Amino acid sequence: MVCENLLNLSKESQNETVINNRQKSNTSYIPKRRINWHKAASYAAQIISKNIAHIFKTYNLFTIKGFSSSITINDYYATFGYACLFVSHLCNLCMKQYSSSDITITLLTYRYPRKLMNHLQNERKLTINKISHGIYHINEYTLKAQIIVVNQLSHDENPYLHCIID
C-alpha cells in the first residue's frame, strides 16, 4: 500500500511534467512510460522517520542507488561538489548569505558501500559514527552528511525508503 501510494504520486507528477515540458519546448519531454523518481523521492523524504531526518536542514541533497549498484567514492565527491556549488549559486541568486550549515547530504543505498567507507576512514581520516542500524553519520568538516543503508533499516519504521530502492 505504501509503495503503491508513492508510485501513484510519482505517476501523477510525471504526467504533469510531460505536459509542462511539451508546452515549453518540443525537444525536451519525459516519455510517458518513465517514472519521475526524483519527485517520488521528494515525497518520501518529507515523511521519513526522525531517525533519518534529524540532521536535515533547509536544503537536503540526496544521492540514491538501488539494488544493482552501491554508492561509490565518485558519487560521494560528486554529491559533495554539487552541495558546495548549490550554496554558491543560492548566495548569488538570493543575494543572501548562506553557508554549508544550511545544507545536508544523504547518500541512500541498498548495499553497504564498503569501498567508500574504507576510503573515508583510512584515506580521508574521517570518523563515521553508526547512529543506528543502517544510519551512518560522516563527521565531515564542512557539510553534515549521512549514509543510509536501506537493507539494514527496519522496514516497518522506514517503508518509503524501501519503496524508493525497490
Q: Check whether 5 has a pLDDT greater than 50.
A: no
What residue type is assigned to position 80 of the chain? F
The CA distance from 8 to 97, in Å, is 38
The pLDDT > 90 percentage for the chain reads 31
pLDDT of 37 higher than 80: no
Instruction: Identify the top-confidence range among 11-15, 85-89, 119-123.
Output: 119-123
Long-range contacts of the stretch 66-72 (C-beta < 8 A, 24+): 66/110, 66/165, 66/166, 67/110, 67/111, 67/165, 67/166, 70/109, 70/110, 70/111, 70/112, 70/113, 70/114, 70/116, 71/107, 71/109, 71/113, 71/116, 71/147, 72/113, 72/115, 72/116
pTM of the model: 0.69
Question: Tell me, what's the pLDDT at 9?
Answer: 43
> Exposure string (b/e) for 26-41, b if CB count within 10 Å is 16 or more?
eeebeeeeeebbebbb
